[in-house]
Structure 1
Amino acid sequence: MLEFLKSWYERKFSDPHAVTLFFLLIALVALLYFVGSLIIPVLVALVIAYLLEWPVIKLQNLGLARLSACASVMLLFAGVMIAVFVTMVPVLWQQAANLLQEAPSMLEQGKSFLMHLPERHPELINAQQIQNIVSNVESKVLEFGQQILSFSLTSLKDVVAWMIYLILVPLLVFFMLKDKIELTSGIETFLPKQRRLISQVWHEMNQQIMNYIRGKVIEIVIIGGASFIAFAIFDLRYAALLGVLVGLSVLIPFVGAALVTIPVAAVALFQFGLAPEFWYLLIAYGVIQVLDGNVLVPLLFSEAVDLNPVYIIVAVLFFGGLWGFWGVFFAIPLASLVRALLNAWTTEEKMIIKEA
């Protein structure tokens, strides 16, 4: 066993470049795990900077200076965000409040529907099973309501922090864009000279992360907009709120679509019953999800779709458990990073064997 471990170590870490890459990864993981919550504004700014780098480059290609391009893009981005906040947030807030007010009656209607199932289908289900289901659902709803209440009470203390973030994050984004070359050069000065594998992995992942963030934003807008239009055509209540939820659900691969189906189906069932409109709405919603998974995702994430769905789900569970929302958001790039690291180490091992 010891000989096997020694042989493995010599194959994987005989090159100082591989050792440098390994310890850099350990340091980054430890940094994010222990102080990740303290640097959330930096992470948010980094994501936005990646998103805005593409239009900045396009403006530079048109002959604009880097500073002017960054300023123009930041002004446009700020204007869009303010417009979205002013027009959408009040509507979403009102619809969310109305949905919470109607939630008890929706639950009672669902409870009544379930309690009559044993009368209609006694061969499939009995009253005791229905009672157990209803009890479990009621306890989960009560627990969820308590969590929402506690979150709203504790979030009041974070208002000042959010106000600070609203000032710090745009400033960080602007300087990350403007001083990109200086910042990357400064980081390189702290790295050891044996960084060939680090450069290899970085060049492989840098463009992929940029494409992923841009593609994910485009996917959220398209799927959310298409869902809102479909819900509005069927005159579904809370169409804007449900459309936003469907759009945001794409942040969690596979699982998000399944989770957001529950509120969509519940609201449609409460409004239409088992009428044809209910089934037509679910069919339209299913078509949107199918087009998203089979057309939109391959177009936007051509570099990531070759990952097996099992790897993606494992990445969502693992990185989400480590870093919460950001782990889920970056699950696919992080899984691709692991693959790039394995490819780099495998390539390095083959080169060492060939030289030997």
Structure 2
Amino acid sequence: MLNIVRSWVEKYFSDEEAVVLFILLIAGLAVVVLIGDLLAPVIASVVLAFILQGLVSKLVARGLNEKVSILAVFILFIGLFFTFLFFLLPLVLGQVTSLVKEFPRMFSELQSYIKLLPQEYPSLLSEASVNNLFNQATSEAAKFGQWVVSLSLESFPVFVMILIYIVLVPILVFFFLKDRTLILNSLAALLPRDKDVMTRVWQEMNMQFANYIRGKVVEILIVGVVTYVAFVVMGLNYAALLGILVGLSVLVPYIGATIVTIPVAMIAFFQWGWGSDFLYLIVVYGIIQALDGNVLVPLLFSEVVNLHPVVIIIAVLFFGGIWGLWGVFFAIPLATLLKAVFTAWPVSK
């Protein structure tokens, strides 16, 4: 047994770079699990700076001075940041408040509709089963109400966290853009001189992360805006809130689109009932999802390494479980990182 373990270690860890790479992976995982929440503003700033760096590089390639390019891109970022903060966020919060106030009416309509089911389908449903369903629904509604009250009472720490993001994130983004080369060189100096494997992994992942993150941001914006416009044109209530939900649903492949369909269908049903307007909206929503999956995703992510759907779902569940929303967002590039590491891992023969 010891000989088997010794031969395995000699085969995969005889190279110094392999040992360092393994330690870095373990350390990175430990940081994410233990203090990932504390570093959330830093991680958000790194992601934003990484996205904006692509625009800076394009401006520099067109002959613009690098410092001027950084300043111009940062000003654009600040404009979009405060537009979201003072226009879009209040609109969404207002629609969330209005939707919460609508819950009692929706629940009452749902009760009226369910009461008719035993009369229309007596062979499938009995009054006893409907009453049992009512009791369960009432209990869940009471729990939801308690959750809303507790959420409002605990809103002060959330408010403080939002203030921290508002102040820290723009400052960190500016310095990550301005001192990008200095930061990367400082980190590279901590690594061994011989880092051929790490260089190959870095080059591949730099391309993969860039393609994925920037592509995913563009996909969220396109899907969210198109959905919002379509819902506004069709007269659906809470179009801004649903547009954001549909846009963010693309973060979770396969699962997100399925989950977000439920609130879209429910709000449309309580607004119009079973009618032509409801069917038209479902058709339009289905077309948007089909265009996203069959046209937009292949166009934006053509250079991203293809992963099997099972691998993607496992990555979303695993990284989402240990890192929350950030883990869901980075599930695919992190899975790609692991694939690149395994491919480039030095093996002694």
TM range, smaller chain:
over 0.9
| Aligned residue number for residue 76 of structure 2 | 76
Higher deviation after alignment, 325-334 or 5-14: 5-14
- Cα distance per residue 1:125-152 (max 9 Å; x no partner): 3334434444444434443443343333
Gaps of 5+ in 1: none
2:31 and 2:123 map into 1 onto residues whose CA distance is 58
| Aligned residue number for residue 287 of structure 1 | 287
Change (3 A) 1:264 1:28: same
Pairing 1:153–2:167 present: no
Pairing 1:18–2:18 present: yes
**1:272: how far off?**
0.9
| Aligned residue number for residue 327 of structure 2 | 327
2:206 and 2:143 map into 1 onto residues whose CA distance is 42
Change (3 A) 1:138 1:329: farther
Pairing 1:27–2:30 present: no
TM-score in terms of structure 1 length: 0.92
Deviation >4 Å, runs of 4+: none
- Cα distance per residue 1:222-269 (max 9 Å; x no partner): 111111122122211111211111111112222211111111111111
1:139 and 1:336 map into 2 onto residues whose CA distance is 44
- Where does 1:187-226 land on structure 2 (aligned, <5 Å)? 187-226=187-226
| Aligned residue number for residue 9 of structure 1 | 9
| Cα contact 2:219–2:250 (8 A) shared by 1 | yes
Letter of the 2:105 partner, please give it. Answer: S
| Cα contact 1:45–1:172 (8 A) shared by 2 | yes
| Cα contact 1:45–1:169 (8 A) shared by 2 | yes
Gaps of 5+ in 2: none
**1:193: how far off?**
2.9
1:305 and 1:146 map into 2 onto residues whose CA distance is 45
2:167 and 2:184 map into 1 onto residues whose CA distance is 24
Change (3 A) 1:51 1:138: farther
- Cα distance per residue 1:265-320 (max 9 Å; x no partner): 11111111101111111111111111111211111122446211111111111001
| Aligned residue number for residue 237 of structure 1 | 237
| Cα contact 1:21–1:195 (8 A) shared by 2 | no
| Aligned residue number for residue 46 of structure 2 | 46
1:274 and 1:331 map into 2 onto residues whose CA distance is 38
Change (3 A) 1:90 1:160: closer
| Aligned residue number for residue 256 of structure 2 | 256
Change (3 A) 1:151 1:198: farther
Q: For this pair of structures, how many residues does the alignment match? A: 349
**1:158: how far off?**
4.0
Pairing 1:37–2:61 present: no
Letter of the 2:163 partner, please give it. Answer: M
Higher deviation after alignment, 118-127 or 143-152: 143-152
**1:2: how far off?**
4.0
Secondary structure of 1:37's aligned partner: coil
- Of structures 1 and 2, the one with the larger relative CO (CA 8 A, separation 6+) is 2
Letter of the 1:297 partner, please give it. Answer: V
Q: What is the identity percentage for the equivalent residue pairs of Structure 1 and Structure 2?
A: 47
Higher deviation after alignment, 77-86 or 305-314: 77-86
Change (3 A) 1:196 1:132: farther
1:140 and 1:4 map into 2 onto residues whose CA distance is 55
Secondary structure of 1:64's aligned partner: coil
2:148 and 2:57 map into 1 onto residues whose CA distance is 42
Secondary structure of 1:207's aligned partner: helix
1:75 and 1:4 map into 2 onto residues whose CA distance is 59
TM-score in terms of structure 2 length: 0.94
| Aligned residue number for residue 277 of structure 1 | 277
Letter of the 2:221 partner, please give it. Answer: V
| Cα contact 1:95–1:238 (8 A) shared by 2 | yes
Secondary structure of 1:38's aligned partner: coil
1:141 and 1:293 map into 2 onto residues whose CA distance is 35
